[in-house]
Amino acid sequence: MSGIPVIAVDGPSASGKGTVAQRVAEVLGFHYLDSGALYRLTALAAERQGATWHDEQAVADIAAKLDVVFDGAAILLAKSDVTEAIRTENIGIGASIVAALPLVRAALLERQRAFALVPGLVADGRDMGSTVFPHAPLKVFLTASAEARAERRYKQLTERGEAADLAAITADLHARDERDRQRSVAPLQQLPDALLLDTTEMGIAEAVQQVLAWWHTATEVQRKSVPSA
Ligand code: DC
């Protein structure tokens, strides 16, 4: 592994892990990887190229050749701005289908690891701690109750002006959680070495403070275990 410090933040959809991970990265001056965006981009690229989401080889080839630029807050796919297009419910469903395909996950592995650059990285997803950055000095499993997550997703969609139905969102989150947990490769799971952060009753600021406190403890422990020359 590269020796670059990585904070791995894994958890289910709509748990708030993206916002928390991004803010932690800002505070520490670290890079940020939204690994879910890569699966969403793959689903969108497949749809645009006429491949079905279940065609493993075709989708893996598309994933390997993704022409993506992360330009600050904007995401460009083959030079077109897809920042909003990858956030729809339909592409979220496509992402969870293509993410269950082993060849697709393999095609995206090195692309994710390439985000680990000095001075450090905060990476969020489902398998950051288990597969992509197994040596991360801090692993967080960030979750919230199904009801809280459904309400957050509902609020997000309505704030963006999209039509939203709470019952449909709850059912969809449930189906997506099941697909992410049950798949054979890199399933969503809380690892024994991951610290649990349940944000059901917690605001973003408090969650960020908790991750930062854990990070300072983890780096302190590391510093003490490396004898000075
Ligand atoms: O975090 P998100 O909702 O943007 O992720 C979209 C889908 O991609 C989600 O269903 C799970 C999948 N995913 C994954 O399998 N592994 C990751 N590291 C990140 C996301």
User: Ligand 1 — pocket residues by CB below 6 A?
Assistant: 13, 35-36, 39-40, 92, 95-96, 99, 125-127, 176, 180
| Environment class of 185 (CB within 10 Å of its CB; exposed 0-12, middle 13-18, buried 19+) | middle
Return the pLDDT at 229: 46
**227 occurs within a structural domain:** no
Specify the length of the chain in residues. 229
Q: Which atom of ligand 1 has the smallest separation from the CA of 18?
A: 1
How crowded is residue 177: how many other Cβ atoms within 10 Å of its Cβ?
A: 17
Ligand 1 center to residue 39 CA distance, Å? 6
**224 occurs within a structural domain:** no
Burial 3-24 (b: 16+ CB within 10 A, else e): ebbbbbbbbbbbbbbbebbbbb
Looking at ligand 1, which residue's alpha carbon is closest to its atom 4? Answer: 36
pLDDT digits (tens, 9 = 90+) for 20-61: 999 999 999 999 999 999 999 999 999 999 999 999 999 999
Backbone angles phi, psi at 64, to 5 degrees: -65, -30
**229 occurs within a structural domain:** no
Is residue 9 within 8 A of residue 122, CB to CB? The reply is yes
Question: What is the count of structural domains for the chain?
Answer: 1
Q: For position 112, which CATH number holds?
A: 3.40.50.300
Is residue 128 within 8 A of residue 21, CB to CB? The reply is no
Give the least confident one: 127-131, 163-167, 181-185.
181-185
Round to whole Å and give the CA distance between 31 and 121.
5
The enclosing H or E element of 173 equals helix 166-182
Ligand 1 center to residue 210 CA distance, Å? 23
pLDDT at 226 over 70: no
Token readout for 32 is 């940020």
**1 occurs within a structural domain:** no
How crowded is residue 106: how many other Cβ atoms within 10 Å of its Cβ?
A: 13
**49 occurs within a structural domain:** yes
When pLDDT is cut at 50, 70 and 90, the band that residue 227 belongs to is low
Return the pLDDT at 228: 55
Round to whole Å and give the CA distance between 111 and 21.
19
When pLDDT is cut at 50, 70 and 90, the band that residue 88 belongs to is confident
Round to whole Å and give the CA distance between 9 and 184.
20
Ligand 1 center to residue 102 CA distance, Å? 14
**228 occurs within a structural domain:** no
Q: Which atom of ligand 1 has the smallest separation from the CA of 40?
A: 6
Among 9, 19, 39, 112, which residue has the most ligand 1 atoms within 8 Å of its CB, making it the best to mutate?
39
**225 occurs within a structural domain:** no
Ligand 1 center to residue 125 CA distance, Å? 6
When pLDDT is cut at 50, 70 and 90, the band that residue 164 belongs to is confident
Looking at ligand 1, which residue's alpha carbon is closest to its atom 13? Answer: 36
Token readout for 6 is 């990585």
Helix 204-225 and helix 17-28, axial crossing angle in degrees, nearest 10 = 50
Q: Which atom of ligand 1 has the smallest separation from the CA of 37?
A: 4
Among 34, 87, 88, 96, which residue has the most ligand 1 atoms within 8 Å of its CB, making it the best to mutate?
96
**204 occurs within a structural domain:** yes
Range of the domain at 93: 6-219
